[in-house]
């Protein structure tokens, strides 16, 4: 299985989460990690899973993430999953970049493999809460397992 993780990060928290997700995906195959500024906008067909994330700011996407998604070509052959980093609060109160990313990826034709996932930060200068890196790696592992199962499913 081949997958890519694309992320934007302001304080380094989302970057750390992206690499933890990639570590979880590695048991299923090759993983490439890209910053949003260096990510491809044409995703090769051999990539089966694309994971995209960014920090939640002003209840949604940061401009670099929105810009990237606006230039992304069709994703009809890839499964996708989305994540964000945000303050721990009800989603309606804090917003969620992951939900906004998922909406935009659906417009590009992608098939969502998991519900948008949030990883939590705290503090004036946001820092990841304890256990979030481990949770991200476990989520990446689960995404890899789910994608591999879909790839090997025999149509009935």
Secondary structure element (H or E) that encloses residue 114, with its range = none
Task: Sketch out the chain's domains with CATH numbers.
Answer: 2-152 (3.40.50.360)
Alpha helices in 26-152 (DSSP H): 63-71, 91-94, 97-107, 132-152
Q: What pTM, to 2 d.p., does this model score?
A: 0.93
Confirm if 88 and 132 have CB atoms less than 8 A apart.
Answer: no
Characterize the bridge pairing of strands 111-112 and 2-7.
unpaired
Residue pLDDT tens, the chain, 156 long: 999 999 999 999 999 999 999 999 999 999 999 999 999 999 888 999 999 999 999 888 999 999 999 998 877 778 999 999 999 877 777 889 999 999 999 888 888 999 999 999 999 889 999 999 999 999 999 999 999 888 776 454
Separation between Cα atoms, residue 6 and residue 39, nearest integer Å: 6
In the block, which residue shows the tokens 């935009």? 104
């Amino acid at each position: 299985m081949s997958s890519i993780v694309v992320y934007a990060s302001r304080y380094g928290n989302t970057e750390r989460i992206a690499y933890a997700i990639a570590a979880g995906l590695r048991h299923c195959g090759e993983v490439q990690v890209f910053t949003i500024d260096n990510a491809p906008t044409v995703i090769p067909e051999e990539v089966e899973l694309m994971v995209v994330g960014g920090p939640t700011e002003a209840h949604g996407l940061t401009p670099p993430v929105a810009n990237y998604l606006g230039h992304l070509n069709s994703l009809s052959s890839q499964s996708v999953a989305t994540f964000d980093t945000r303050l721990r609060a009800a989603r309606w109160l804090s917003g969620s970049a992951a939900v906004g990313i998922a909406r935009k990826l659906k417009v590009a034709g992608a098939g969502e493999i998991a519900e948008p996932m949030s990883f939590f930060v705290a503090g004036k200068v946001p820092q990841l809460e304890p256990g979030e890196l481990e949770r991200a790696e476990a989520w990446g592992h689960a995404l890899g397992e789910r994608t591999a199962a879909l790839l090997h499913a025999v149509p009935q």
